[in-house]
Amino acid sequence: MGVKSAGQLTVNLEAGDWDMPDDLWRSLEERTRPTEDYLTWFNKSNYERFASATEFQEGLREVL
């Protein structure tokens, strides 16, 4: 496991140095997103309700 030289490390790091196009990322995310169960829906709706009632609304909406 792992690398034995700086050259191996460089080669391994180069493989991870790329950006996935946004349209491909969205497509993969939509196709692999798990279905939303009741508890997830309930928590999300409560977070949204909480965020809309706070004075720090803009900062919290970014987190949600």
pLDDT along the chain (64 residues), means of 10: 86 83 92 87 87 64 54
pLDDT score for 54: 63
The predicted model scores a pTM of: 0.36
| pLDDT recorded at residue 42 | 92
Tell me how far apart the alpha carbons of residues 12 and 22 are, in angstroms, rounded to a whole number: 24
Amino acid occupying residue 27: S
φ and ψ of 50, to 5 deg: -65, -45
Spans of all domains in the chain: 6-63
